[in-house]
Structure 1
Amino acid sequence: MEIGPKLGYLPGDLTEKTDPYMEYIVDLMLKLHNEHRRAPNALAATPNGTSLSRLNPKVIQVLPINYTRGRNLEDCVVILDETQNLSREDLRTLLTRMGRNVKVICMGDTQQVDAPFNSPENNGLNWLVRLLRGNPGYAHLVLRGRKSRGPITDMVVAAGL
């Protein structure tokens, strides 16, 4: 989901249109795997060579939420990040696209809700936990501790900004 003014129409194919939205995923993958930006079989340079936001489609496919309507995902692991910024309806739309042999991981931090229509108490992640808790095949994990992005993040969260 975009923060601030919308980017609007972007020229190019689907990959070129989604590149600006996918950079954070590449950043996280590089950090998690401690790989160099030119690691073979992991990331490929974009046509203009300025960023590495295209992922090997045989391993990982990244799609904007808007492109999931009407799809049926099967035999895969789906990671939905920033679910605290989705509405209950948006999350329902995504989760009802899951077919056979799918594992879904919904991630988020209810202290970092920044979608204008959501709150720490009323967001897709909280609805998911409230409504699915106790169902077979469902589990959730709450991570607690002092590990964060960094001191500025800690200061902003503690201040309630």
Structure 2
Amino acid sequence: MKTFSARPADIDKKWVLIDAQGVVLGRLASIIAKVLRGKHKATFTPHMDMGDNVIVVNAAKVQLTGNKRADKVYYRHTGYPGGIKSAIAGKILEGKHPERVISKAVERMLPGGPLSRKQMTNLRIYGGAEHPHEAQQPAVMDVASMNPKNTRSA
């Protein structure tokens, strides 16, 4: 029996809607990364963009376990000498762009490289409950009900 290797004509991309309200960040990010890569499909091929398009709503209401909301620090560098900047996870979630926390978590769960950067373009994250992708008729994926550990009360 020969190993199946997908070709561009074999790829069938769907749209998936995920509500992040009350869901633990790491568990949510791992599920999103799996769907973006296409590992949930029987026809998964590692070198092809097999994954679905993912829409995440209510990104500002994602949960962090333990003291991570106050203690987790995100670092970035401006490119200038001494230009290291830091931000606390709680401040980012309450700020102007709460979707960046989920975006970074998913990005760091994907393998690095050009294919991974292409797959990240299939991820759309919104801080509120509205999104402009109703025309794509996304299928709803209920991450909160998959496992009792996926949710935490505030």
TM-score scaled by structure 1? 0.29
Relative to its length, the structure with more strand (as a share) is: 2
Q: Work out which structure has the larger RCO, using CA pairs closer than 8 Å and 6 or more positions apart in sequence.
A: 2
